[in-house]
Amino acid sequence: MTARAMLNCGLTDLRLVRPRDGWPSDSAVAASAGAAVVIDNARVFATTSDAIADLTLVYAATARDRAMTKRVVTPGAAARELRAAVGHTCGILFGGEAKGLNNDDIALADHIITAPLNPGFTSLNLAQAVLIVAWEWHMAGIATPESDMRIPEDTRPATKEEMLGLFEHLEGALDQSGFFHVREKRPIMVRNLRNLFQRAQPTEQEIRTLRGVIASFLHRMTPKKD
Amino acid sequence: MTARAMLNCGLTDLRLVRPRDGWPSDSAVAASAGAAVVIDNARVFATTSDAIADLTLVYAATARDRAMTKRVVTPGAAARELRAAVGHTCGILFGGEAKGLNNDDIALADHIITAPLNPGFTSLNLAQAVLIVAWEWHMAGIATPESDMRIPEDTRPATKEEMLGLFEHLEGALDQSGFFHVREKRPIMVRNLRNLFQRAQPTEQEIRTLRGVIASFLHRMTPKKD
C-alpha cells in the first residue's frame, strides 16, 4: 500500500530497514496493485543510519510527542521545503509509532513531520501517512489548474450566436404557449431564462438537444386561441 | 478504512448506497480501527438520489473521463469551496470507478473532484481517495502553524544570558586547549562557533548538557605548555 501511495505521487525510491515480514514479499507485491517499479527497486538496509547515509535532508513522520527539541512541520510545509531543496538528496522516515520509528531514528532526522489530524482520532496506518505526505509533495510540484470545465472531445462550448438562436427559439415557443401571458413581465422573465441557460454554459451539442426539446413541444402544441 | 480516513479528518456522516457486502459489517468495524462513531452512525440508502436528497451542494470524486460537460476541481479547490459554502449541506460521492459510481450518479453531482496524480499510475482505492479529499477538507478548516519548534514540557528555550555563558565557557576551554593557536583567526572562529550553537536553538537543559561536556574536557586536560 505504501508503494502504491508513493507511485500515485511520482515517488519511486523505497528503502526498507529490517522489514518485519522479510523481503521480497509476495503480499507486498499483491498489495501494491501494480506499483511493481517501486517494489522491484526497493532496497533493504540493516539500520536506519545505513538507509539514510547518502541523504542530506531527512524528515521523520511521527505524531507522537517524542520529548525532543525538534522543529515540527506540517506535511504541506515539508513538501514545499523538499521542493525548494534543489541539489539535496532528501528522504522521509516512516514507521509504526510503537515498534517502528524509535527515538534514535528520530534523532537522525533534521525535522519532524506531523499531520495535524482530528485530535480525537489521529490513528493512521503507515500507508495512509505516506499517502498524505506524498500527496502534498506531489501537489507542491505540479501546476494543475484548480478548476477546469471538462468537455467531451466530440463537442465544444456553444458560440454566442448559437446561444441567441436557442433563446429566440425558446422565447418564440413560449410566446405561442401562452407562458408570457402577463405581457409586462415578459422582459424580466426572458432575462431570467437567458441567465439560467447562460449559467449552464452549454456545449454546441447541448444547444441542439435543447432546440430539439423545444421543437418537440412546438410540434405537439395546438395553436393558441386568442 | 474509509470510516477511519473520515474520522482522522473530522468527518462523521457516512452514507452508503447498496453496500456490496451488506450492512452492518463486522469486517468494516474491524478495518475502521476504532472509528466506531462513523460506522455506527452510517446510514444505508437504496439509491444515490435518496442518499443526497437533503443536500444542496454535491461533488463526485472520479478520475475517469466520463465524457460529460462538467466542471472539474482539485481536492484542494473543492475543500475551499466546501468550507466557503456556509449554510449549505454538502456531500461528496465516492465509489469504485468500474462498478461503483456510474454516469447517472455523476450526473446528479454539481461538480467533479479529480486528484491530479502521477499520470502513469492513478489507481487509488476508495479509502485512499477519501483520505486525500478529507485531508484537504480538514486542512482548509484549521489554522495550524506550518512550522513550530517542539520542546519537551520540562524545559524551555535558553535565554541569551545562558547562551553567552555557554559561549564564554567553550571559548575559555578552547583557549586552554590550544584550539585558537592562530591568534588572528580567533575572532572568525568564535563567530562561527557561536553561529553554529545559535542555529541549534538549544534549550536551557541542553545548555547545561553542553557545559557538562566542556567541563568534562577541562577536567581531563593537562595544563597547556606555552
Q: What is the pLDDT of residues A42-92, one digit of tens each?
A: 999 999 999 999 999 999 999 888 888 889 999 999 999 999 998 889 999
Residue B150 lies inside a defined structural domain of this protein: no
Helices (H), B53-97: 75-84
Residue A154 lies inside a defined structural domain of this protein: no
**Are the beta carbons of B118 and A7 separated by less than 8 Å?**
yes
DSSP, residue by residue, B114-128: -----TT-----HHH
| Residues B83 and B136 occupy one common structural domain | yes
Return the residue matching grid coordinates 474520522: B7
| Residues B33 and B132 occupy one common structural domain | yes
Mean of all residue pLDDT scores within chain B: 92
| Residues B165 and B130 occupy one common structural domain | no
Mean pLDDT of B52-60: 93
Mean pLDDT of B210-216: 92
| Residues B14 and B88 occupy one common structural domain | yes
Q: Is the pLDDT of residue A15 over 80?
A: yes
Q: Which domain holds residue A180?
A: 160-221
Residue A148 lies inside a defined structural domain of this protein: no
| Residues B43 and B75 occupy one common structural domain | yes
| Residues B16 and B124 occupy one common structural domain | yes
Asked which of B81, B109, B140 is the last residue of a domain, the reply is B140
* pLDDT tier, B98 (very low <50, low <70, confident <90, very high otherwise): confident
Residue A213 lies inside a defined structural domain of this protein: yes
Return the residue matching grid coordinates 485531508: B135
Residue A102 lies inside a defined structural domain of this protein: yes
**Are the beta carbons of B74 and A144 separated by less than 8 Å?**
yes
What's the confidence (pLDDT) of residue A162?
Answer: 94
Residue A202 lies inside a defined structural domain of this protein: yes
What is the reported pTM? 0.85
Q: Is the pLDDT of residue B224 over 70?
A: no
| Residues A131 and A168 occupy one common structural domain | no
**Are the beta carbons of B151 and A4 separated by less than 8 Å?**
no
Task: Quote the radius of gyration of chain A (alpha carbons, Å).
Answer: 30
| Residues A124 and A168 occupy one common structural domain | no
Our CA-based measurement puts residue A225 at a distance from the nearest CA of chain B, in whole angstroms, of 39
C-alpha cell at A29: 507485491
**Number of folded domains that form chain A:** 2
CATH number assigned to the domain comprising residue B36? 3.40.1280.10
Asked which of B140, B168, B200 is the last residue of a domain, the reply is B140
C-alpha cell at A77: 510545509
The whole-angstrom separation of Cα A8 and Cα A33 is: 11
Tell which of A139, A153, A201 to mutate to test the B interface (max B CBs under 10 Å). A139
User: For the segment B6-30, what is each residue's pLDDT rounded down to a tens digit?
Assistant: 999 999 999 999 999 999 999 999 9
Residue A84 lies inside a defined structural domain of this protein: yes
Contacts with A128 from chain B: Cβ below 8 Å: 4-5, 8, 128, 131
| Of B7, B74, B150, Cβ closest to residue A72 | B150
The whole-angstrom separation of Cα B109 and Cα A173 is: 30
- What per-residue string of b and e applies to B173-192 under the rule 16 or more CB within 10 Å gives b? bbeeeeebeeeeeeeeeeee
* Between B169 and A100, residue with greater pLDDT: B169
Give the range among A128-137, A146-155, B126-135 with minimum mean pLDDT: A146-155
| Residues A134 and A165 occupy one common structural domain | no
Mean pLDDT of A149-177: 91
| Residues A171 and A208 occupy one common structural domain | yes
* pLDDT tier, A145 (very low <50, low <70, confident <90, very high otherwise): confident
| Residues B164 and B91 occupy one common structural domain | no
What's the confidence (pLDDT) of residue B119?
Answer: 93
Asked which of A107, A140, A173 is the last residue of a domain, the reply is A140
**Are the beta carbons of A147 and B76 separated by less than 8 Å?**
no
The whole-angstrom separation of Cα B3 and Cα B10 is: 10
Contacts with B70 from chain A: Cβ below 8 Å: 149-150
* pLDDT tier, B121 (very low <50, low <70, confident <90, very high otherwise): very high
Residue B145 lies inside a defined structural domain of this protein: no
Mean pLDDT of B99-111: 91
| Residues B121 and B34 occupy one common structural domain | yes
Mean pLDDT of B38-53: 96
